[in-house]
Each structure stands twice: as C-alpha cells, then as structure tokens.
C-alpha cells in the first residue's frame, strides 16, 4: 500500500505505525501524528494514510518542514488552503492576528496592507514586539510570518486605502478581509468591494472592544458575499478600550470564516 510518511510518498507493507520505524516511536523522544491527530499508542495504518514520525525538538530538512507545519491539519484541507490568496486591510489588533492565524494554517498568499508604523500602544493587542517599534507594520508583520511559516507568499503594500484606490490593491485576492479601526474606514471598504467586486467574498468586523462577554461575538452573513464578525455594538471609545482577549476572539472568528470560505463552506 501507499502512504505519505513525513510528507513524502512511501510504499509499505507495514500494518501499523510502529512497523514504520526500526525503534518504537512511542517514547518521549518522538512525536507521532496520523491523519492530523497526534497519537501515543500504536495504530493500524491503511492505504492513503498520512503519517509523521518526528524527533521531538529538532529542525527537519527543508523538504520535510512544510509538510510538518501542516501535520496537525484536517486531512485534505491544506491543498485548498495553499492555493488561496487573502488581502488583509489594516494590520492592527485584528489584522495582525488574522494574518498570523492564516499563515499558521498555510494560506498560500497574503497581501498585507497598512500605511502605519508600530508604536508602543499597539503592543497590548497586536502581534508585534518591542524590536518592531518604529517599523512599518507591513514589514514587521511580514517578518513575524516568515518566522512562523516561510512558505507563505507575503506581499506588502504600505499605503492609506481610500475609495479611489482600494479596488486596485485588493482585486487580485480571492478573499478580502477588512480589519480597520475606524467605522468610516470599515464602511468605505465594505461598500467599495461589494459595489465594484461583487463576486469577491469580504469578511469584516464590528464591535469587539472592552471586556464584555466573549459569547456576544458572533459571525453573521449579510447577503451572499459579506460576513461580519463581532458583537455589532461595542466600539472603542473613551472608557472602553481595545483589549487583547476580545480582539483576538473576533480575529479568530474572522480567520475561521475565511478558512471556511476557502474550503467551500459558506454558512456561518
């Protein structure tokens, strides 16, 4: 039978995982993953299975690394995800978290768009470090992504998006993600995409400030191509700031909805 072993095609007569290795892989020195699930006991294998037997704490060669980065994914998902392209507009608390989550999931191409630089007040909720202070967010986030998944194609554009230029920058991406802070920028982006690129899916946000209930944040589908994540109410204002937990929850909703669209799941 034929299986995939550590990302490479492998013909074998082995009946179980342990028979694939000269020594038992079920020790503290190894990580064993079959079809996206880590196991600690010997398991039968069948034709078409994907098996990883990885020395714990070591860096594999370049050929194996990309496959191992996605070893814990649901089987067959990675092929679709790798072919997808996503434009992320705004690289603050939402956008920086979304981009990194998509990179970790193996999205093939990301277009990062933001004109701003990293400053100290960003560090409470955005995916940057002290060493990034003063850097363009596009370049700082690209650096972070390359440290997580060097196989993602990252394009950066340091520009302020307006209704006059937005379509030129996002038209080539499969899915468009709105992650701005200001309501007027959100409305501009959503309206521009829906009007000028009606066949594109756009995932947007509304309401994730403060310390309100996590469960108030939901994903809603508006029409056929627009998704809005958030509680729809809690905007940032005096006395109600943007905090890492709720911002990250909303970013998770958005990234997950993007992945659902990529894999052909259009309901919420």
Average pLDDT over residues 53-81: 80
What structural domains and CATH numbers belong to the chain? 2-75 (3.10.20.30), 78-262 (3.40.50.720)
pLDDT tens per residue, range 131-165: 999 999 999 999 999 999 999 999 999 999 999 99
Q: Which residues neighbour 75 within 8 Å (Cβ) at sequence distance 6 or greater?
A: 35, 36, 50
Structure confidence at residue 170 (pLDDT):
99
Average pLDDT over residues 244-260: 97
CA torsion angle 105 79 255 104 (round to 10): 10
Q: Which residues of 49-72 are buried (b: 16+ CB within 10 A; e: fewer)?
A: bbbbbbeeeeebeeebebbbbbbe
Bigger pLDDT: 190 vs 241: 190
Average pLDDT over residues 93-97: 98
CA separation for the pair 205, 230 (Å, rounded): 6
Query: pTM (2 decimals)?
Result: 0.88
106: pLDDT strictly greater than 80: yes
pLDDT band at 265 (very low <50, low <70, confident <90, very high): very high
Q: Which residues neighbour 208 within 8 Å (Cβ) at sequence distance 6 or greater?
A: 94, 217, 230, 231, 234, 242, 246, 247, 249, 250
pLDDT tens per residue, range 175-192: 999 999 999 999 999 999
Report the alpha-carbon angle 143-100-81, nearest 5: 115
């Amino acid at each position: 039978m034929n299986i995939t072993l550590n990302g490479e095609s492998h013909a074998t007569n082995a009946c179980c995982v342990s028979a694939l290795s000269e020594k038992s892989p079920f020790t503290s020195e190894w990580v064993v993953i079959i079809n996206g699930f880590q196991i600690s006991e010997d398991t039968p294998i069948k034709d078409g299975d994907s098996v990883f037997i990885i020395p714990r704490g070591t860096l594999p060669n370049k050929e194996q690394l990309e496959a191992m980065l996605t070893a814990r994914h649901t089987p067959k998902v990675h092929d679709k995800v790798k072919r997808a392209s996503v434009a992320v507009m705004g690289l603050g608390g939402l956008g920086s978290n979304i981009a990194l989550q998509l990179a970790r999931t193996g999205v093939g191409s990301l277009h990062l768009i933001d004109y701003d630089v990293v400053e100290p007040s960003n560090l409470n909720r955005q995916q940057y470090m002290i060493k990034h202070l003063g850097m363009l967010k596009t370049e700082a986030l690209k650096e972070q992504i390359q440290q997580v998944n060097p196989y993602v194609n990252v394009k950066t554009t340091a520009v302020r998006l307006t209704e006059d230029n937005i379509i030129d920058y996002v038209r080539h991406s499969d899915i468009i993600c709105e992650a701005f802070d200001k309501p007027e920028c959100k409305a501009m982006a959503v309206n521009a995409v829906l009007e000028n690129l009606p066949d594109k899916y756009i995932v947007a946000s509304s309401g994730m400030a403060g310390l309100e209930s996590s469960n108030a944040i939901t994903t809603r589908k508006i029409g056929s191509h627009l998704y809005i994540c958030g509680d729809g109410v809690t905007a940032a204002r005096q006395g109600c700031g943007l905090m890492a937990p709720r911002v990250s929850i909303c970013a998770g909703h958005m990234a997950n909805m993007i992945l659902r669209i990529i894999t052909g799941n259009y309901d919420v």
